């Protein structure tokens, strides 16, 4: 009887070890699906080590010891993955918002524009951490972690009233202890060889490869709130070829964030820009090489105006509680709808301005007569 019990326990232990070995080889979505198949998988899938492996594979920045400690402090790797794998989808973008937006007077009061000051006083720039990873054709090419928000010193500092912007590379370049070096892409990474920029201007082969191959994750963590969210769209939303020079390529990622009770426009666009510059072409006797020269974040309202530091912190705080989805088509739909509403707003404002000018012209003519 004792031998039988020992045999059963041994078999159970063996099964657990085998199941764990199976699950540790899975990616995040597959692991989450496997956890729903049976009680044994469900139990084993709660192991933090499994989710740490998933996160480190998807976001190499999470391999750092300081980032591991941060993730442990906000609930662990399983929660971190659940918060940051789905992308932000803002379903509040609709024609209602720009119609309401047009009702606001041209000169907003400080209370209307800046929102609840009592709420703002609970937010500190030092509470935010940016965890950024770039991949090209599934190969990790850049991982950066930024603690706090650069140049955000003091409530009355220029940061709060000036346009909000985080430039990761500029911040790292200013550090004496930064030894991570330049981020480059070359033919060995999968880039097509470019023999001349003139040929690239005609066929756009390099641009297409960049647009199709690049992936960006920009996770923002609030240490005090113990919340995290990925503000990137993972795949590019657009970009500009040869801007501002023939050798520059700007790729744009981002998301639509809620700004209810913060700005009259109700929603804003989080723009994440990545700029690569061609530093070598094949005609120069060196394989085609690109250098990452910009990696930045800024927020813009419906009119394309940059949001200031004070409002940006409020918006980032709200974004951490925003609706998310694993369906990438929903993410694209949200961003495309924002662009559509933004275009309609511009057209409506132009029509309103035209009607106003016509009315002023008629009134002036009447006074003259």
Higher pLDDT, 200 or 13: 200
Residue 41 is part of which domain span? 2-83
Higher pLDDT, 29 or 268: 268
pLDDT tens digits for range 245-294: 889 999 999 999 999 888 888 889 999 999 999 998 887 777 889 999 99
Residues 79 and 92 in one domain: no
Residues 76 and 99 in one domain: no
From the centroid of its chain, how far is CA 268? 13
Nearest to 234 by CA among 168, 129, 305, 325: 325
pLDDT value of position 3 = 41
Report if residue 369 sits inside a domain: no
Burial class (CB in 10 A: 0-12, 13-18, 19+), 111: exposed
Residue 50, both tokens: 């499994």
Residues 78 and 124 in one domain: no
Residue 191, both tokens: 């880039």
> Averaged over 230-236, what is the pLDDT?
94
Helix or strand (DSSP H, E) at 135? strand 128-136
pLDDT value of position 118 = 52
pLDDT at residue 16 above 70? yes
Report if residue 361 sits inside a domain: no
d(CA 369, CA 366): 5
Residues 190 and 146 in one domain: yes
Helix or strand (DSSP H, E) at 251? strand 248-258
d(CA 222, CA 316): 9
pLDDT at residue 1 above 50? no
Q: β-strand 324-325 against 289-300: which pairing, if any?
A: unpaired
Report if residue 40 sits inside a domain: yes
pLDDT at residue 69 above 80? yes
Residues 125 and 176 in one domain: yes
pLDDT value of position 282 = 80
pLDDT grade for 59, boundaries at 50, 70 and 90: very high
Reported in sequence order, the residue ranges of 9-137 that DSSP labels E, i.e. its strands, are: 87-88, 128-136
pLDDT at residue 207 above 50? yes
Residues 20 and 122 in one domain: no
pLDDT at residue 361 above 80? no
Higher pLDDT, 295 or 105: 295
Residues 9 and 129 in one domain: no
pLDDT at residue 4 above 70? no
Residues 255 and 312 in one domain: yes
Average model confidence (pLDDT) across the chain: 83
Q: How many domains does the chain have?
A: 2
Among residues of the chain, what percentage have pLDDT more than 90? 46
pLDDT at residue 78 above 70? yes
Using DSSP's 3-state secondary structure scheme, residue 244 falls into: coil
pLDDT tens digits for range 111-134: 445 444 555 567 889 999 999 999
Q: Cβ distance 142 to 295 under 8 Å?
A: yes
Report if residue 366 sits inside a domain: no
Please tell me the pTM assigned to this model: 0.84
Q: Whose structure tokens read 């070598």?
A: 280
Four-CA torsion 72, 75, 80, 82, nearest 10 degrees = 150
Using DSSP's 3-state secondary structure scheme, residue 267 falls into: strand
Ranges 149-158, 223-232, 339-348: which has the least confidence? 149-158
Residues 212 and 228 in one domain: yes
Report if residue 360 sits inside a domain: no
Residues 131 and 37 in one domain: no
């Amino acid at each position: 009887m004792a031998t039988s019990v020992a045999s059963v326990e041994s078999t159970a232990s063996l099964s657990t070890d085998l199941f764990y070995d199976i699950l540790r080889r899975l990616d995040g979505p597959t692991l989450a699906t496997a956890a729903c198949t049976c009680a044994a998988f469900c139990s084993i899938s709660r192991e933090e080590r499994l989710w740490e492996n998933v996160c480190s594979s998807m976001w190499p920045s999470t391999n750092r010891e300081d980032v591991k400690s941060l993730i442990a402090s906000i609930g662990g790797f399983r929660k971190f993955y659940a918060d940051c794998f789905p992308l932000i989808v803002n379903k509040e973008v609709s024609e209602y918002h720009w119609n309401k937006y047009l009702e606001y007077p041209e000169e907003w009061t400080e209370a209307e524009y800046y929102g609840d000051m009592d709420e703002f006083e609970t937010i500190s720039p030092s509470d935010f951490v940016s965890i950024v990873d770039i991949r090209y054709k599934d190969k990790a090419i850049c991982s950066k972690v930024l603690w706090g928000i650069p140049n955000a010193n003091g409530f009355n500092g220029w940061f709060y009233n000036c346009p909000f912007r985080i430039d990761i590379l500029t911040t790292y370049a200013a550090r004496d202890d930064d030894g991570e070096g330049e981020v480059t892409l070359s033919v060995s990474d999968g880039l097509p060889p470019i023999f001349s920029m003139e040929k690239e201007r005609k066929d756009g082969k390099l641009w297409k490869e960049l647009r199709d191959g690049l992936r960006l994750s920009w996770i923002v963590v609030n240490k005090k709130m113990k919340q995290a969210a990925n503000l990137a769209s993972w795949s590019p939303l657009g970009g500009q070829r040869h801007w501002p020079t023939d050798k520059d390529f700007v790729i744009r990622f981002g998301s639509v964030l809620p700004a209810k009770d913060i700005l009259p426009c109700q929603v804003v666009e989080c723009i994440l820009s990545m700029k690569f510059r061609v530093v070598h072409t094949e005609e120069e006797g060196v394989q085609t090489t690109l250098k990452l020269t910009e990696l930045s974040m800024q927020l813009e309202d419906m009119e394309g105006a940059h949001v200031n530091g004070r409002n940006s912190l409020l918006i980032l705080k709200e974004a951490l509680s925003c609706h998310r989805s694993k369906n990438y088509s929903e993410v694209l739909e949200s961003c495309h709808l924002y662009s559509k509403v933004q275009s309609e707003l511009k057209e409506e404002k132009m029509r309103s301005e035209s009607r106003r000018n016509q009315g002023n012209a008629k009134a002036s003519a009447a006074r003259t007569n």
